[in-house]
Chain A
Amino acid sequence: MTNSSGFRLVGKITTLLGLMIIAPSAFADMVLNLRRGVTDISQTVYELHMLILWVCVVIAIVVFGVMIVSIVLHRRSRGAEAASFSHSTKAELIWTIIPVIILVWMAVPAAKTLVVMEDLRDSEMTIKITGYQWRWHYSYLGTEVDFFSTLARSSNIARQLRSGVDPFSVENYLLDVDKPLVVPVDTKIRLLITSSDVIHSWWMPSFAVKKDAIPGFINEVWFKANETGTFRGQCAELCGRGHGFMPIVVDVLSQQDYAAWIDAKDRGETVAMVDSTADTTAEAPAAARELSGEELYNISCGACHQANGQGLPPAFPGLVDSAVVDGPVAEHIDIVMNGRVGTAMVGFSTQLSDAELAAIISYERNAWGLNSGDTVQASDIAAAR
């Protein structure tokens, strides 16, 4: 921990303790409530949330009010004499029927909203979303565009155990990705959500969309964003060690910007995001900086196989004592590129470039005392494709 973060910690605890005692209103700048979001549905959901919240508050005031009055007045220390009544059919009927009426009154708008949410007709485009341990894959159906979306490098470095990087110094810590999902504004977009390994859940609070990604099944959901901008969410279903580290970022572009973006992507060009965040622009040249095999390994492989190559057996085997890493190069390349069926090991051929794959495999074959001396070239990878 750096010195400044240490000071901040002490300061924060003091402030928190102080605030808890004297001024709860000083929390005003904190996010306390659900966000309204930028779709019609998310705004309806927000209003439903506020409605049920206020219903609960009113009931609480009445119920707790009666209870507090009773506690204050009907206590022996005030000389209260106990009455002896033990039932009243009238009272019991009243407090059975009134809640039923409130519930029915609540259920009607809730059911209506649900019906709209489940109406997928007339969607204008479809994106297939696949959850992986621990990244998202987006595929724009009807185009050639598909890509993985992974935790931004700055967050990924800072989130390592005792990384020494202060999370407060990282912009959008844990809520930023290398390549956001890009969609047009004012368009009804259908999402097909599935998974390649375990259950994940794609959650975008600003759209009030949360749907589980289930291996072998395809869930449908839709949204129509009313505003452009960048919106952030996270995986919501426990999916293993990296569950907290697979954020979701959606860039909503104007329809013209989106059309330009998807055209360029479809022609296979690398597009600087029209609406990119500072972090993603920093990301682009970083790729040209030629990360070492070790850095690439730690980002792409380290979550499961661990920085020390010991893995987390038996789900994630160690590489140090692996027959693959110690064996023929061709088999090693094959498994890294194409994955291993029936295990959590996915293929990385679409996620990484030839040079990156070569660097990682070379690193693995020579790290942790293996020293095989093998060097895999980008051309070897290209040959295996």
Chain B
Amino acid sequence: MGPEYEATADQYQADDHDHHGAPSGIKRWLFSTNHKDIGTMYLVFSLLMFFVGGTMIMIVRAELFQPGLQFVDPAFFNQMTTMHGLVMVFGAIMPAFVGLANWMIPMMVGAPDMALPRMNNWSFWLLPVGFTFLVATLFMPGGAPAAGWTMYPPLVLQTGDAFPFLVFAVHILGASSIMGAINIIVTIMNMRAPKMTLLKMPLFVWTWFITAFLLLAAMPVFAGAVTMLLFDQYFGTHFFNAAGGGDPVMFQHIFWFFGHPEVYIMILPAFGIVSEIIPTFARKPLFGYNSMVYATASIAVLSFIVWAHHMFTVGMPLAAELFFMFSTMLIAVPTGVKVFNWIATMWRGSMTFETPMLFSLAFVFLFTIGGFSGLMLAITPVDFQYHDTYFVVAHFHYVLVPGSLFGIMAGVYYWLPKWTGHVVDEKLAKTHFWLSAIFVNITFFPQHFLGLAGMPRRIPDYSTQFADFNMMSSLGAFGFGLSQLLFVYIVYRTVKGGEKASSEVWDNPKGLEWTVPSPAPHHTFETAPELR
């Protein structure tokens, strides 16, 4: 139902000298244990990685602009697609969600900070270390990893000197994620304001709570998989080598046992964000709060029993193919419940369309399109035709770009005034929204057609019949990439100045974060807020 609360902004109007401010200079960031500063670092880092991964895909789309090889060698092309995937998943999307969690979860549950602030510092600072390892592989003999972000053996074992760095980068990023997840779970379990029972938590907190358990369960599996690769490569084991009694397909099973929950790790927090935003701008409470929580939990549970739908073509027994087809189709039910609940929240509301709402509405539309193609992919006999084609590329980019990424952007536009104390320039922000929404569709919608027409994914060059849609997709991608520079400018401008934001920012939003002033003081809720 969401918490009922007393306004507590008054306590911050008093003199601020009881609260020590932020330390100045580089130490503020290097040694920070403050959830807001660490949240900011996560968000800035993920924005940086978003552009690193984006630059890589611009190279890919430039090469795919027309048939023939114009710019790069196929080996380098494969490095770019591989690194794009790794950087976007582990560098852009996941850290952005952790950044939002750091900033918002303590404020939303009325806690003064994260439960384990020093570990919080460590889990952030592992990220630049891990990505230094990963990006440095571009300059190593043999080049960066080029076997796809899924790292299937035996191909991945043909990686050059980059191979151990890839494995260690995954270990470091995994450790960072696990620590982040522990911190979020402990904070939510122990530091909620009195009377904030679990079923009164904001939905963003709920979705992150569930996501954190997925991280805890999935990341060690991934670390194990890459460690087995490392042993196969250097220590004479044969986990994935058939000649030594191993099985290359076992890697795929282990990888996707991690990989499918990972998919939900990247979308559940976005579900939470739009579940915060839509009620605010529809001026109506979230429809079906309880069923939202249960749907999220059942998606999380189901995510552990559907992994083999990523590998229907490896030659599984009929019974396994049927099981994974049915379990995958089942996920459509709780996912549908969420979409219906969002729409029921809008129904008979009093809607306005500020930028966070626009991104959230685009999220509901376009994520649902990704859901439809997901349902199609679940049908095993038809998946044999879709598998490893651009249809799959279109599908997962629809859930990751207008899904996860739009969710993040909606959240940033929603909470940026709270963080900076300045109102966002709506005109610029709406321009950014429309450019993004149009270009994302020009980029990814034609890829459905390419896949159905028979274009495999991960190829640097293609037959001439695919030329027109590839050109369209590349033009869309360039447009989308350039539009994101506007986002950086908007964020920069809002940080630097602008109209002062009130503590509520929007029209009567619900949640404890709106009871503290804007910008949120360095320390909030040192005494727990009163909930009615």
Contact = CB atoms under 8 A, between A and B. Distances in A.
B479 to A, nearest CB: 11
Contacts of B337: 92, 95-96
A49 B286 contact: no
Contacts of B350: 74-76, 80-82
Given A30-B468, A86-B1, A242-B74, A56 B315 contact: no
A44 B379 CA distance: 13
A7 interface: no
Interface in A59-87: 59-60, 63-64, 66-67, 70-71, 74-77, 80-87
Interface string B227-245: 0000000000000011100
Contacts of A83: 284, 347-349
Nearest to B282: A82
B155 A240 contact: yes
Nearest to A116: B381
B348 A344 contact: no
A358 interface: no
A66 B343 contact: yes
Contacts of B460: 244
Contacts of B352: 75-77
B67 A173 contact: yes
B147 interface: yes
Contacts of B288: 86-88, 92
B313 to A, nearest CB: 5
A376 interface: no
A315 interface: yes
Given A67-B346, A74-B350, A315-B159, A86 B387 contact: no
Interface of A: 1, 9, 12-13, 16-17, 20, 27, 30-35, 41, 44-45, 48-49, 52-53, 56, 59-60, 63-64, 66-67, 70-71, 74-77, 80-88, 91-92, 95-96, 99-100, 103, 106-107, 110-111, 113-115, 117-118, 158-163, 165-168, 172-175, 197-199, 201, 203, 205, 208-212, 214-217, 219-220, 233-245, 312-315, 344
Contacts of A99: 332-333, 336
A240 B146 contact: yes
A44 B381 contact: yes
Contacts of B530: none
A187 to B, nearest CB: 21
Nearest to B243: A216
B325 A111 contact: yes
9 contacts: A33-B452, A48-B379, A60-B369, A91-B340, A113-B381, A114-B381, A236-B456, A238-B388, A243-B456
A96 B291 CA distance: 11
B197 interface: no
A241 B471 contact: no
B377 to A, nearest CB: 10
Nearest to B346: A70
A65 B318 CA distance: 39
Interface residues of B, number: 105
B364 A67 contact: yes
Contacts of B348: 70, 74, 80, 82-83, 85
Nearest to A217: B242
A107 B381 CA distance: 11
Contact of A214 (B68, B314, B364, B472): B314
A251 B216 CA distance: 52
A66 B289 CA distance: 20
A241 B381 contact: no
A243 B143 CA distance: 17
Contacts of A100: 333
A103 B330 contact: yes
Contacts, number: 323
Contacts of A45: 381-382, 384-385
Nearest to B357: A71
A314 B143 CA distance: 10
Q: What are the 7 A-B residue pairs with the smallest beta carbon separation, nearest first? A: A216-B242, A244-B459, A219-B315, A31-B453, A315-B158, A56-B372, A82-B350
B114 to A, nearest CB: 31
Contacts of B463: 172-175
B475 interface: yes
Nearest to A315: B158
Contact of A32 (B242, B372, B449): B449
Given A49-B376, A212-B314, A344-B158, A201 B388 contact: yes
Given A16-B471, A117-B384, 12 more contacts: A31-B449, A77-B352, A85-B348, A103-B329, A103-B333, A110-B379, A201-B313, A201-B388, A214-B249, A238-B152, A241-B73, A242-B74
A339 to B, nearest CB: 14
A110 B328 CA distance: 13
A30 B142 contact: no
A160 B462 contact: no
Interface string B449-480: 10011101111111111011101100100000
Contacts of A81: 350
A115 B318 contact: yes
Given A82-B350, A244-B74, A312-B142, A220 B472 contact: no
A53 B325 CA distance: 17
Contacts of A159: 68-69, 461
A114 B318 contact: yes
Contacts of A240: 75, 78, 146-147, 155, 158
A219 B317 CA distance: 11
Contacts of B160: 312-315
A244 B286 contact: no
B380 interface: yes
Given A87-B291, A217-B242, A242-B74, A212 B382 contact: no
A95 B340 contact: yes
B321 interface: yes
Query: Which of B154, B375, B381 lies at the interface centre, i.e. has the most chain A CB atoms within 10 A of its CB?
Result: B381
Contact of B384 (A27, A59, A210): A210
Nearest to A316: B158
A56 B152 CA distance: 32
A214 B462 contact: no
A20 B441 CA distance: 12
B361 interface: yes
B25 interface: no
A56 B376 contact: yes
A310 to B, nearest CB: 11
B485 interface: no
B368 interface: yes
A165 B417 CA distance: 55
B381 A110 contact: yes
Given A87-B289, A110-B379, A168-B67, A82 B349 contact: yes
Contact of B333 (A52, A91, A96, A217): A96
B285 interface: yes
Contacts of A118: 318, 321
Contact of B343 (A67, A162, A209): A67
